[in-house]
């Protein structure tokens, strides 16, 4: 970062006599600084999570919910075959999308960091990848409908170049469409963290590997990938949790062929069956937390972010 212009007001002559002030210990200052963040996260994230933990044991009927300590909500949830089916379906999407976004994200980040020589070009390309992320996910999802539809732009283009006689039917409202939309929405979540890790690798290391006779692939496998492990783990966590928590894309793009964990849960919420919905939420939260904790074991995310 370049040196900023000297701002006025710094170079004032030191006051002859320091005013007596309340001296706060540095730790107290830190606590005051993070206070608002802590209060909001506790009040609106931790507390609500506790509330649905409590409500998941409640009894309910068509009229309301009643404090109780029942395990029925969990038993019903865990003994329904639909639960396993929807988890397997979401996991399948999560793994496919994880694989594709990892491939795309790593290669694009590698290209941006090591191949693009001009800083300006790199910034512009990175922004081009990032800008859609700052626009509406709903709009980006429905944007695929006129593109992939039976009479959509893609089918018309295929038929115009005579690659296919009849429009392809599997493109829209299918698991394929769901995966395409996820990749479209979430690849940036991979590119960002991986590019961040790659940018910290000293290019001299790559030259050293090459000079020592390592092939391109050996350099990749033994130098670049181990050093970008944190970025890969962070990106994976983000993509994985987004897919597991999604309820819009599957609902909109699968044409009713698949459900997602959250869309099943949303149906219960709309029917005001809060206790079973809370139990389902708790199971999902635990599941996601376990997966994230597993991925966090690979890297110390905190050490990576705060220094």
Partner 1 sequence: MSARDPRERRPWTFYALASLMGLFLLFLYGPMLVIYLLSFQGPDGGVTFPMVGSSTFWFEEILRPGQMANIPAAFGRSLLLAAIVSLLTVLISVAAGMGFRRRFPGSGVLFYLAVASLVMPSLLVGFGIGLGFQLFGWEPGLFTSALAAQLTWTLPFGLFAMFAVFNRFNRAYEEAATDLGASAWQRLRHVTLPILLPGILGVAMGAFTLSYDEYARTTLVAGNRNTLPLEIYALISSATSPTLFAIGTLTTAVSFLVIGATLALVIRLQRRRAAAAR
Query: Tokens 């459900």 sit at which residue?
Result: 259
* Alpha carbon separation from 138 to 39, 116, 141, 182, 261 (Å, rounded): 31, 32, 5, 12, 19
Q: Does 22 bind partner 1 (CB under 8 A)?
A: no
Nearest distance in Å: CB 46, partner 1? 6
Cβ contacts of 113 within 8 Å, gap of 6 or more: 122, 195, 198, 199, 201
DSSP code for 169: S
Q: Which member of 17, 20, 26, 63 binds partner 1 (CB under 8 A)? A: 26
DSSP code for 171: S
The total number of residues shown for the chain amounts to 307
Q: Does 32 bind partner 1 (CB under 8 A)?
A: yes
> What token pair was written down for 11?
């170079």
**Beta 59-60 vs 65-66: how paired, if at all?**
antiparallel
- Describe the crossing of helices 72-79 and 274-298 by its angle, rounded to 10 degrees: 70
Q: Does 190 bind partner 1 (CB under 8 A)?
A: no
DSSP lists the bridge partners of residue 66 as 59
DSSP code for 168: P
Q: Does 208 bind partner 1 (CB under 8 A)?
A: no
Please choose, out of 37-45, 68-76, 80-88, 92-100, the segment that lies near partner 1 by the rule CB under 8 A: 37-45
Q: Does 249 bind partner 1 (CB under 8 A)?
A: no
Site for partner 1 (CB under 8 A): how many residues? 105
Taking a C-beta distance cutoff of 8 angstroms, is the pair 104, 188 a contact?
no
DSSP code for 173: S
Q: Which member of 160, 204, 211, 226 binds partner 1 (CB under 8 A)? A: 204
Nearest distance in Å: CB 78, partner 1? 18
Q: Does 91 bind partner 1 (CB under 8 A)?
A: no
Comparing CA positions, the residue from 292, 302, 286, 285 lying closest to residue 239 is 292
Residue 226: exposure state from Cβ atoms within 10 A (0-12, 13-18, ≥19) = exposed
Q: Which member of 178, 219, 281, 283 binds partner 1 (CB under 8 A)? A: 281
Please choose, out of 38-46, 71-79, 80-88, 222-230, the segment that lies near partner 1 by the rule CB under 8 A: 38-46
Q: Which member of 102, 266, 298, 299 binds partner 1 (CB under 8 A)? A: 266
Q: Does 168 bind partner 1 (CB under 8 A)?
A: no
Q: Does 306 bind partner 1 (CB under 8 A)?
A: yes
Nearest distance in Å: CB 209, partner 1? 14
Please choose, out of 71-79, 80-88, 158-166, 247-255, the segment that lies near partner 1 by the rule CB under 8 A: 247-255
Backbone angles phi, psi at 65, to 5 degrees: -120, 145
Please choose, out of 51-59, 68-76, 158-166, 225-233, the segment that lies near partner 1 by the rule CB under 8 A: 51-59
Q: Does 49 bind partner 1 (CB under 8 A)?
A: yes
Closer to partner 1 by CB, 175 or 265: give it: 265
Closer to partner 1 by CB, 68 or 207: give it: 207
List the x/- string, 119-158, binding to partner 1 by CB under 8 A: ------x-xxx-xx-xxxxxxx-xxxxxxxx-xxx--x--
DSSP lists the bridge partners of residue 60 as 65
């Amino acid at each position: 970062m370049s040196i900023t212009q000297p701002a006025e007001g710094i170079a004032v002559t030191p006051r002859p006599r320091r005013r007596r002030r309340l001296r706060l210990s540095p730790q107290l200052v830190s606590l005051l600084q993070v206070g608002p963040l802590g209060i909001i996260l506790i009040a609106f994230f931790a507390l609500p999570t506790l509330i649905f933990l409590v409500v998941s044991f409640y009894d309910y009927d068509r009229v309301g919910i009643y404090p109780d300590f029942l395990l029925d909500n969990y038993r019903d949830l865990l003994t329904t075959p639909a639960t396993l089916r929807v988890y397997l379906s979401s996991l399948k999407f999560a793994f496919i999308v994880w694989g594709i976004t990892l491939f795309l994200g790593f290669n694009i980040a590698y290209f941006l960091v090591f191949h693009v020589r001009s800083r300006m070009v790199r910034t512009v390309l990175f922004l081009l990848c990032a800008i859609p992320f700052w626009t509406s996910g709903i709009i980006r999802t429905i944007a695929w409908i006129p593109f992939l539809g039976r009479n959509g732009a893609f089918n018309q283009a295929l038929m115009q170049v005579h690659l296919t006689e009849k429009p392809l039917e599997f493109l829209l409202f299918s698991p394929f469409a769901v995966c395409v939309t996820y990749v479209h929405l979430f690849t940036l979540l991979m590119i960002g963290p991986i590019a961040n890790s790659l940018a910290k690798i000293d290019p001299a290391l790559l030259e050293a590997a090459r000079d020592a006779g390592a092939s391109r692939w050996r350099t990749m496998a033994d130098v670049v990938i181990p050093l970008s492990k944190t970025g890969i783990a962070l990106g994976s966590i983000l993509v994985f949790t987004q897919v597991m928590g999604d309820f819009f894309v599957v609902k909109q793009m699968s044409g009713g062929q698949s459900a997602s964990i959250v869309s099943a849960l949303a149906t219960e919420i709309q029917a005001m069956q809060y206790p079973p919905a809370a139990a389902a939420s708790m199971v999902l939260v635990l599941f996601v937390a376990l997966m994230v904790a597993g991925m966090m074991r690979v890297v110390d995310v905190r050490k990576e972010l705060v220094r």
